[in-house]
Amino acid sequence: MKLNISIKRTICFLLALLMLFSVVGCKEKKKSNKKKVVVRDKIIVKDDKDDDTNNNSTNSDVSDSDNTVNQVTTRAKRELLKAEEEEEVLSFDEVHKETFYPEYTSENVDWAGPEGYVIVYSPEKDKNGANTNARVLAEKLATFFKDNDNVNLPVYKDTDPELQGVTKMIIVGDTAYYKSDLKETEFAVNLKGDKLVFEGGHIVMAEKAVDWFRTIKREKGKVAILKGTQDNFTSTKTVEGMDLVYVWGDEFDGIEHVDKTKWQIAQHMATNPDLAFIDNEEVCGVENGRLRLTGIRYLPEDTDQYAHATHGSYDTAPTMSYKNGYIEIYAKLAYTQGSLPPLWLMSNPEESSVIPREQFKAAWTVEVDIFETFSNGKMWDVSFHKYYKNYDITIDGERYFNGITYQQKDENGSIVNRILFHGDEIYSLAGIDSTNKLDINEAGDRYQTWGTITSWRDHYDTTENKKQQYIFEGEALEKLNDTYHTYGYLHTKDGYKVYLDGECWLEREWDTAYDGINGFDCDNNNGFGYELYYYLIMNQFIYTPGTSLGDWAVIKDNRTLPISSWIDHVRIYQLPDEIAISTPAYNE
C-alpha cells in the first residue's frame, strides 16, 4: 500500500515537473518573438510580423525617462514623412551657359621698364575723321603702372617738343613716332627696341591691346606682349546705300567693372518693393570680353524687404550722345519669363550733360525703345514715346525757351497755328474741329502723347505691314537664348529702320508714323523734328512678384534665377561729313 502511494506520488511529481517545463518552454518561445530596436538611443520592442513601416518609430513611442524596454507591442501604424520629391530645376544661366574663346595669345619677355619711360599718344582724329580716345587709353596705362609698379609715368602728346631725344616710350596707337601696319581687325602689344607699342589697325584695336594687357600677370623685369584679332570689327559700314564710319563704341574688354569714360550706372527703371538695385559683380561686370547683366535671388541679412536684385542701368548720359546714324549691339539677350533686357535711347537734356544745351529749345523729348521683350520668350518690341515739356531756363547767361508751336490743318486744308505754353488748356485749340484735337496725357509737368504720335504695338499691329514686333520661329526660336544676334537701329532726318543680323524688318517715316494722323502736322518741333541728340541705356531688369504688371510678367520659379544677358559690343556709325557726337572724354 505504501509502495503504491509512493509510486503515485512519484508519478504526480514527474507530471508536475513536465508541466512546469512545458510552461517555461512556451514562455521562452513567446519571448523570442520580440526583438529590441534602438531608435535615437531609445529601445523599443517590435513584433517580427509587423511590416517594415513599423520600423519608423519616433520618440513618442518610447519612454523619455530612461532607456528601458517599452512592452507595448500593438500601436497604430504611421506613414513615413518623406521629403517631397521635386523635379530638379536648373537656372536660366545653367541651361544657357556662356562659352568663351580667347581673343589673344601672350608671353612675358624681358623688359627694362617701366622706370624711365614716358607714355605718348596722338591727339589727331582717326583715318575716317572721328575723334579718338587715345588720351584716355594713355591715362589708363599711367594708372596701371602706378598701381602695379609704383612709378609715375608722364603722358605726352606726340607733338610735344619735350619728347625730342627721348627713346624710352610707351606708345598708344598711331603716333608721329610709330605707325602700325596691322590689319584693321588685328591688335598687339610689341617691343620695338626701346618702345613698348600698343597698336592696332584702328584705335579700337589699340584699345583692345591696352585693355587685355592690364589683365595679364607679369613678373618684375618682364612685360607681357600679345597679339589677337577681332574678326567682326570694321571701321566702315554701308547701311541703306550710305557709307558710314565708326565714331564710338565699347568692346567690353579688360578688367573694369564699368568704364567711367563711357558709362555710368544709374536708376532708370521702375522700383518694385521687393527688388533691390545693387552694384557689384553678382549682378554686372565685364567678363572675358563681354558685359554681363544679371538678375538674381537676393536675401540680404540686414533687411527682409528684398527678395531679388539686379543692377542699375548702364547709360552714357554723362559721357556720350549722338544725332543720327546707325547703332548696332551684338548681344545674347534673355528671352524668358520675368525678363526685360531693354536697349533704348533718350533725348532728355535734363538727364544728360553731354546733350547740347541748345536742345532745351526743343518742344519735346523722345524715348526710342530699340529692344524690349516684356517677359516674352519669342518676341521683341520696338516702340517710341514722345514727351512734351515747356522750358524757360538760363544756362551760363543764355536763355533757352521753347514756346511750343503746333500746326494743324482745318477742314479747308489751311494751316492753323497755335502756340501752346506750359499750363494752357490743351484741349481747346481755337478753330479746330473736336475730332482733330491732339490727344495728350498730362503726367506731372510734362505731356506724353498716346496713340496718334506714340509708336506702340496697340497702334501698329492692326495690319501685318504695321507690326512693331519681331517674332522668332523654328530653329531660330529653339536656339534663341543660346545665340548672339546683331540688333541694329538707323535714325535719320526722314525716319528710322530696325535690323536683325543686318536685315531690315521695320521702317517708318516720321510724318506717316507720328505726324500724319488726321491731318495733324507738328514735325517742326521748333526746328528740331526728330533730329535730336540721344544717349544710350542698357540693363537686365526682372519682373518680381512686387511688380504692378500682374502674373503674366513675373518670375514663376525663383530657381530659374540667375538670369543674365550678355553684350559683346556696342558700335555707332555716322556719315563722315555729318559726324555729330558729343564725347567730352575724347576731346582735347
Residue 515 is predicted with a pLDDT of: 44
Domain boundary among 181, 204, 229: 229
Tell how far CA 397 is from the center of its chain: 40
Query: How do strand 169-172 and strand 118-121 relate by DSSP bridges?
Result: parallel
Rounded average pLDDT over 83-92: 71
Q: What pTM value is reported for the model?
A: 0.79
CATH label of the domain that carries residue 299: 2.60.120.200
pLDDT per residue as tens digits for the range 119-160:
999 999 998 999 999 999 999 999 999 999 999 999 999 999
pLDDT bin (cut points 50, 70, 90) of residue 272 is confident
263/200 same-domain check = no
pLDDT per residue as tens digits for the range 307-363:
999 999 999 999 999 999 999 999 999 999 999 999 999 999 999 999 999 999 887
Query: Would the pLDDT of 451 be above 50?
Result: no
How far is the first Cα of the chain from the last one, in angstroms, to the nearest whole number? 146
- Number of domains into which the chain is organized: 2
pLDDT bin (cut points 50, 70, 90) of residue 415 is low
Structural domain includes residue 90: no
Residue 18 is predicted with a pLDDT of: 58
Residue 7 is predicted with a pLDDT of: 56
255/141 same-domain check = no
Query: Would the pLDDT of 51 be above 50?
Result: no
384/515 same-domain check = yes
pLDDT per residue as tens digits for the range 182-236:
999 999 999 999 999 999 999 999 999 999 999 998 888 999 999 999 999 999 9
Residue 501 is predicted with a pLDDT of: 98
Are the C-beta atoms of 142 and 167 separated by less than 8 Å?
no
- Of 48-52, 104-108, 522-526, minimum mean pLDDT range: 48-52
pLDDT > 90: percent of the chain: 59
DSSP string, 133-156: -HHHHHHHHHHHHHHHH-----EE
Q: What range defines the domain where residue 114 resides? A: 104-229
Q: Which helix (H) or strand (E) holds 460?
A: helix 457-460
463/375 same-domain check = yes
**Distance from C-alpha of 431 to C-alpha of 411, rounded to nearest angstrom:** 10
463/574 same-domain check = yes
Residue 363 is predicted with a pLDDT of: 76
CATH label of the domain that carries residue 182: 3.30.379.10
192/287 same-domain check = no
Structural domain includes residue 73: no
Check the CA dihedral 549-550-554-558 and report its sign.
positive
